[in-house]
Amino acid sequence: MQSDSYATRFSQNNTYNVYTASSITEKKLIGSIQVDEPGYMHSFGMTENYIILAEFPLVVQPADFLVRTKPNYR
């Protein structure tokens, strides 16, 4: 059974990464986009040709997030 998921990578170059997985141990990166301030995302949509990420205005600045563990509201 194949499943799809996404993850936010917090680093100097923050990214949203979308994966497909054929098993628990085998995942493949199928798309990635770099962002300055990662936002909250609860879920995503996917068709045969497109991935739709709905980014909400609750964002974090990763360095602050690691120190304070609280998001910045804007």
Please list the rounded mean pLDDT of every run of 10 residues in the chain (74 residues). Answer: 78 88 82 87 83 82 66 58
> Cα separation of 31 and 48, whole Å?
13
Q: Is the pTM of this model over 0.95?
A: no
> Which residue range(s) make up the domain with 19?
3-73
> Cα separation of 74 and 37, whole Å?
11
Number of domains in the chain: 1
> Cα separation of 53 and 70, whole Å?
22
Give just the sign of the alpha carbon dihedral 66, 12, 3, 58. Answer: positive
Instruction: Provide the pLDDT for residue 70.
Output: 57
